[in-house]
C-alpha cells in the first residue's frame, strides 16, 4: 500500500509517537478490506509503539480502522481506506493519539477540552477532495482531546449506498449526531465555534476590547496577506480579519503560473502565506465575516457577523470573489444535490454518470478534462460562439471521446426530481430552440463575483460590484483602500492580487503619514 518514499517519510513521523497506540481494523472479504488490513499491518510493523487487532464481520461500516491510545476505546475512525488526500489525516491521527501535540493555539485546544456535550461527527469525503482533509483532521483532533467526542471519516466511494440514501452529492459533508452540520471546507476553529453555544458572545467581547489598528486588512487571501506583510514591515499596528485564511486559493488545486514556482497547490500556497504573515506582528482574526463598513468621527469601523466592531485609522479591503452562479430556476434548490462548483472535490461522486460543465473558459475546460476520466460523459455548455480557454486545453478536451462541447448555449433551468438533479434545459442562441440534457451533475464554472455586498452605500462600486480604486489602491472613501479580486483591477490572478495588496498597504501608510 505504501511506496518506499512514503514509507520512509511515515517512519520519521512515527518516531514522534510518545505513548503507545492501538489500531483496530474491521474487515470482510472485500477488496477494500484487504487494502485496509494491508495498510494497517505495514504501519504497525514500522513502530513498536503501534499494536494491531483485526476483526472479521463484526458489524457496522466495513472496512474501518479505529485509532486510539492503547488501553482506551478509540474515538477516531476511518471508514474506508485513508489514502489520497486523507493519508495526511491518518498520519496526524496516529501522532495525536500517540501524544504528539497539535499546532493549534492553546486557547482553541482549551475550548475543545471544555466541550461537555456528546458530539458524534461523521465526515463524508472523497479521497480526491483537497478540501476534505481540513474537516477530517479537525474532528479527529477534537475526538483525541475530548472523551465526549467521536469522529468518523466516511469514504463515499466505499459506501455509495449510504451516500445515496442520505442524498449527499457534495463533499466534504459533515454530520453531527446524525444531522447535517455543514458542507464544504471548514476550519477547526469554525467547527468548534459551531458546536460551542457560548462562542459567539465570548468572541464578540474579545474583539470589541481590541485597540484601534493603524491598518486593518479585511480578507485573508493573497491580496490580504501581501497587504498585511507590507503594513507590518512599516512597524504600524496591523490586523487581519477574515472568514478563512487563504481565501479562494484554498479551492484551487493546481497553480502553474506563479512566477518562480513551477507548480504548487492552492492549500500549500495558502499555508505558506499564513506562515509568512505570522513572521510579523500581525493580529490574525479568522472565522469572522465583515458585514458593514462605516466611518465615525474619522475612525473606520468594520462590523462583524458575530456582533463585534473593529476600529482602525485605515482599512484595506481584500475580500476577494466567489464562484458566479447561473441564476436560473432550480439552481439554488439543487445546490449540493447535483449542482456543484468543485470538480476535484465532487467529481468522484458522479463516477460513471453523465454530467455537464457550464462555461468554456480555462476553468470549465479544465473541469471537463478532469471529469472525463471519472464520469460516463461530459457536456460543456458555452454561452458564446467560441471557447475562451487556452488552445492547449481546448485541443486536449476535443481529443477526449466522452467530452462534447456545445457553443452558443444558454442554460435556462436546472431540472430535478426526488431531491436531486436529473437534467438541465438550455436554449440554442442561434435559433432559440430549447433542448433538455439528461445529466446527474452540473458543474458551474462561469467566473467570479466580488464579495462586496456589505460595502453597498459605503463607497463607490461598479455595476458588477467591484470596488473602484485608483493607482494607489485608494477607494472613494478616504483612508479606505482595496486590493485583489474584489476591485476594478483587471485580470484576476494570484500574482496580480499580491501586487495590489502591496500597493494598497503602501498607499495606506502614505495616508497615515499625511494625516497623522
Query: Which positions are catalytic?
Result: 342, 345-346
CA 87 → CA 18, 94, 153, 422, distances in Å? Answer: 20, 11, 12, 34
Residue-wise DSSP of 17-58: --S-EEEEEEE-SSHHHHHHHHHHHHHHTT-TTEEEEEEES-
Residue recorded with cell 468572541? 203
**Contact, 424 vs 413, CB < 8 A?**
yes
**Half-sphere exposure of residue 191: CA atoms within 13 angstroms, side-chain side:** 33
Number of neighbours of residue 167 by Cβ within 10 angstroms: 14
What CA–CA distance (Å, rounded) separates 314 from 481? 8
Which residues have a Cβ under 8 Å from the Cβ of 120 and sit 6 or more positions away?
A: 149, 150, 152, 176, 177, 178
Phi and psi at 428, nearest 5°, equal -75, 115
Residue-wise DSSP of 464-499: TSPBP--TTSB-SSTTEEE-GGGBS-SS--HHHHHH
Number of neighbours of residue 479 by Cβ within 10 angstroms: 19
**Looking at residue 311, what DSSP letter applies?**
E
Residue recorded with cell 462605516? 294
What CA–CA distance (Å, rounded) separates 406 from 419? 27
Residue-wise DSSP of 331-370: TTTTBTTTEES-HHHHGGGGTTSEEEEE--SHHHHHHHHH
From the centroid of its chain, how far is CA 35?
Answer: 28
CA 187 → CA 127, 174, 499, distances in Å? Answer: 18, 12, 27
**Contact, 486 vs 468, CB < 8 A?**
no
Helix (H) or strand (E) run with residue 437 in it = strand 433-437
Cα separation of the two ends of the chain: 63
Q: Is 63 helix (H, G, I), strand (E, B) or coil?
A: coil
Provide the pairing of β-strand 64-69 with 354-358: unpaired
Residue 170 cell numbers, joined: 457534495
Provide the pairing of β-strand 339-340 with 321-323: unpaired
Amino acid at each position: 500500500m505504501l511506496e518506499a518514499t512514503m514509507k520512509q517519510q511515515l517512519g520519521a513521523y512515527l518516531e514522534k509517537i510518545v505513548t503507545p497506540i492501538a489500531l483496530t481494523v474491521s474487515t470482510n472479504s472485500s477488496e477494500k478490506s484487504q487494502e485496509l488490513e494491508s495498510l494497517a499491518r505495514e504501519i504497525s510493523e514500522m513502530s513498536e509503539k503501534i499494536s494491531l487487532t483485526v476483526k472479521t464481520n463484526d458489524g457496522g461500516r466495513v472496512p474501518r480502522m479505529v485509532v486510539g491510545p492503547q488501553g482506551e476505546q478509540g474515538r477516531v475512525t476511518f471508514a474506508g481506506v485513508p489514502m489520497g488526500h486523507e493519508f495526511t489525516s491518518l498520519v496526524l491521527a496516529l501522532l495525536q493519539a500517540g501524544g504528539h501535540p497539535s499546532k493549534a493555539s492553546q486557547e482553541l485546544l482549551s475550548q475543545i477540552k471544555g466541550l461537555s456535550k456528546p458530539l458524534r461527527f461523521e465526515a463524508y469525503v472523497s479521497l480526491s477532495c483537497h478540501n476534505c482533509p481540513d474537516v477530517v483532521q479537525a474532528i479527529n483532533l477534537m475526538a483525541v482531546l475530548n472523551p465526549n467526542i467521536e469522529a468518523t471519516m466516511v469514504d463515499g466511494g466505499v459506501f455509495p449506498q449510504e451516500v445515496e440514501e442520505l442524498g449527499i452529492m457534495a463533499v466534504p459533508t459533515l454530520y453531527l449526531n446524525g444531522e447535517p452540520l455543514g458542507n464544504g471546507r471548514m476550519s477547526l476553529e469554525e467547527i468548534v465555534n459551531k458546536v460551542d453555544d457560548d462562542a459567539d458572545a465570548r468572541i464578540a467581547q474579545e474583539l470589541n476590547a481590541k485597540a484601534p489598528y493603524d491598518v486593518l486588512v479585511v480578507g485573508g487571501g493573497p491580496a490580504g496577506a501581501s497587504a498585511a506583510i507590507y503594513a507590518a514591515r512599516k512597524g504600524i499596528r496591523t490586523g487581519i480579519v477574515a472568514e478563512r485564511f487563504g481565501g479562494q486559493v484554498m479551492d484551487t488545486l493546481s497553480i502553474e503560473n506563479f512566477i518562480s514556482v513551477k507548480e504548487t497547490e492552492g492549500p500549500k500556497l495558502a499555508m505558506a502565506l499564513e506562515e509568512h504573515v505570522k513572521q510579523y506582528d500581525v493580529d490574525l482574526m479568522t472565522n469572522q465575516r465583515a458585514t458593514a463598513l462605516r466611518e465615525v468621527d474619522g475612525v473606520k469601523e468594520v462590523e462583524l457577523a458575530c456582533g463585534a466592531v473593529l476600529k482602525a485609522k485605515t482599512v484595506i479591503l481584500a475580500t476577494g470573489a466567489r464562484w458566479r452562479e447561473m441564476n436560473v430556476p432550480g439552481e439554488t434548490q439543487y445546490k449540493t444535490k447535483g449542482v456543484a462548483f468543485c470538480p476535484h472535490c465532487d467529481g468522484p461522486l458522479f463516477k460513471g454518470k453523465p454530467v455537464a460543465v457550464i462555461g468554456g473558459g480555462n476553468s470549465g475546460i479544465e473541469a471537463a478534462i478532469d471529469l472525463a476520466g471519472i464520469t460516463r460523459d461530459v457536456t460543456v455548455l458555452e454561452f458564446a460562439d467560441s471557447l475562451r480557454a487556452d488552445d492547449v486545453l481546448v485541443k486536449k478536451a476535443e481529443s477526449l471521446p466522452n467530452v462534447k462541447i456545445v457553443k452558443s448555449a444558454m442554460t435556462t433551468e436546472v431540472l430535478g426530481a426526488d431531491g436531486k438533479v436529473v437534467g438541465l434545459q438550455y436554449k440554442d442562441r442561434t435559433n432559440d430552440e430549447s433542448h433538455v440534457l439528461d445529466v446527474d451533475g452540473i458543474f458551474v464554472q462561469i467566473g467570479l463575483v466580488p464579495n462586496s455586498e456589505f460595502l453597498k452605500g459605503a463607497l463607490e462600486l461598479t455595476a458588477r460590484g467591484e470596488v473602484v480604486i485608483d493607482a494607489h489602491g485608494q477607494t472613494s472613501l478616504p483612508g479606505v483602500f482595496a486590493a485583489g479580486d474584489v476591485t476594478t483591477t483587471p485580470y484576476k490572478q494570484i500574482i496580480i492580487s499580491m501586487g495590489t495588496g502591496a500597493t494598497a498597504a503602501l498607499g495606506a501608510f502614505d495616508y497615515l503619514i499625511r494625516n497623522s
